[in-house]
Chains A and B, each alone.
Chain A
Amino acid sequence: DAKTTQPPSMDCAEGRAANLPCNHSTISGNEYVYWYRQIHSQGPQYIIHGLKNNETNEMASLIITEDRKSSTLILPHATLRDTAVYYCIVRVLGSSNTGKLIFGQGTTLQVKP
């Protein structure tokens, strides 16, 4: 699975959009981009995933660049409860593997009032 690079920390004002970047310059054509987050003392929570096209669900939007070498997770109206560590993960579809998710260091998002 490709390596990802994320900034270690970011701040965001409550009510504003939070834009979390992820670099995955070595991503392969069959690798998906997944985002999870981990709120303090809880298990990781799935947010969204995508392959090529931009995706949106009730939690967030995922913007993937045309060359797929980077992506941005957007929380449109951040709240204090969105304070968490956000992980960007890429993984290949269709391979024989353990199903292991490789969580890097992630980005600690601090939403401030």
Chain B
Amino acid sequence: NAGVTQTPKFQVLKTGQSMTLQCAQDMNHEYMSWYRQDPGMGLRLIHYSVGAGITDQGEVPNGYNVSRSTTEDFPLRLLSAAPSQTSVYFCASSYSTPGQSGNQPQHFGDGTRLSIL
């Protein structure tokens, strides 16, 4: 039972480079989301998806793109990395959108630690 798998675990980029953070879940969860965690800021929601083909912005979406072509995968793309995007990124999933049609808890991956030089 893999749960939520994030790759890579660590990455160093130069300013202006692009990359994709991968997130996959094997629980057939409809809802998936991306957070970033910075010291003193807690976890902030970047983007989320309530099902395949549907994505929407969270509270800090600028500089990030997402897509949801399958139920299992929810990649996060940095188009042109900036030092301000240095952070730990967490992907989470749940059976349904938290707060709607049930109170399903969210399952988190172990994060991707990203440094932008």
Residues of A bordering B, CB below 8 Å? 32, 34, 41-46, 49, 91-105
Contacts and interface: CB of A to CB of B under 8 A. Distances in A.
Nearest to A100: B45
Main SS class of interface, A:
loop
A91 B98 contact: yes
A97 B42 contact: no
Interface residues of B, number: 28
B74 interface: no
Contacts of A102: 42
Contact of A44 (B90, B97, B102): B90
12 contacts: A34-B105, A43-B108, A49-B105, A95-B99, A95-B100, A98-B58, A99-B31, A99-B97, A99-B100, A100-B33, A101-B98, A101-B106
B99 A91 contact: yes
Interface in B87-101: 90, 92, 94, 97-101
A43 B106 CA distance: 11
Interface of B: 4, 31, 33, 42-43, 45, 48, 50, 56, 58-59, 90, 92, 94, 97-103, 105-111
A103 B105 contact: no
A40 to B, nearest CB: 11
Given A93-B99, A95-B99, A101 B43 contact: yes
Nearest to A104: B42
B42 A94 contact: no
Contacts of A94: 99-101
A99 B98 contact: yes
A94 B43 CA distance: 23
A92 B99 contact: yes
A103 B97 CA distance: 17
A71 B53 CA distance: 39
Contacts of B94: 99
Contacts of A49: 103, 105
Contact of B110 (A32, A43, A92): A43
B26 to A, nearest CB: 16
B108 A99 contact: no
